[in-house]
Amino acid sequence: MLRRVLAELERPQTLAQVAARVGVEPGVLWGMLETLQQGGYVGLAYSESPACGTSCAGCSLKNLCPAVGSETPPPTPVWRLTVKGRAALEQGL
């Protein structure tokens, strides 16, 4: 189930769309994302992050990301796969 969520993060979708595809309610998916974030498999994207480097450069949703160092929670959080998340996904496929 969690790998399915990781797989869905490979393309831009809304929370509701991914929830429908995985077959859970958005609230459950939110919990899954927090679990995955806690494990380091997904990360909240921050715009203009030096860590993002080239990986953020082509992301069409990056403009919805909060600025680096922002203490305000993003109104529209964007999650993206981390290196660990991608490795876990590839391992499970």
Partner 1 sequence: MGCPECHGTVATAPRTDGIRVVTVGNPNTGKTTLINALAGSDLKVGNWPGTTVDRLEAQLRLSGGTVRLVDLPGAYSLNPTTPEEALAARELLAHPPDVVVNVVDAGNLERNLHLTLELAELGLPMVVALNLMDEAEAKGYTLDPAALERALGVPVVPLVASRGRGTDELLAALERARVPGLRLRYPGELDRAAARLADRIDHPAARWIALALLAGEEVPIELDGELLERARRLRAELERVGIDPYLEIENARYVRAHELAQTALLGSEPRLTLTDRVDRWVLHPLLGGPIFLLGMLLAFRFTFLFSTPWVDFIGAVQEVLAGWIAALPLPPLVASFFADGLVGGVGTVISFAPVLFFLYVALAFLETSGFLARAAFIADKMMLLAGLPGRAFIPLILGFGCNVPAVYSTRILTGRFDRLRVGLAIPFMSCSARLVVFTLFAAVFFPERAAWVVFGLYLLGMVVGLFTAWGLGRAAGQPASSGLMELPPYRLPTMQVVLKQAWARTRSFLEGAGGPILLAVLFVWLLLNLPPGDLEGSLYARVAGWLAPLFAPLGITDWRLLSALIPGFVAKEVVVGTLAVSYLGAEPTAALGFVQGLGQILATFWASLLTTLGAVPALFGLPQLAPPPPDAPTALQAALRASVAPAAALAYMVYVLLYTPCVATVTALKNEFGRFWAAVAVVYELILAWVLAWGVYRLALLWLGG
Q: Should residue 82 be labelled a site residue for partner 1 when binding is judged by CB under 8 A?
A: no
Toward partner 1, which CB reaches closer, 60 or 69?
60
Tell me the residue type at 76.
T
d(CA 82, CA 27): 22
Comparing CA positions, the residue from 83, 76, 75 lying closest to residue 55 is 83
Query: Is the distance from CB of 29 to CB of 18 less than 8 angstroms?
Result: yes
Q: Should residue 45 be labelled a site residue for partner 1 when binding is judged by CB under 8 A?
A: yes
Toward partner 1, which CB reaches closer, 63 or 72?
63
Tokens of 31: 């919990």
Q: Should residue 64 be labelled a site residue for partner 1 when binding is judged by CB under 8 A?
A: yes
Binding site for partner 1 (CB under 8 A): 1-3, 8-18, 23-25, 27-28, 30-35, 38-39, 41, 45, 47-48, 54-55, 57-65, 67, 75-81, 88, 91
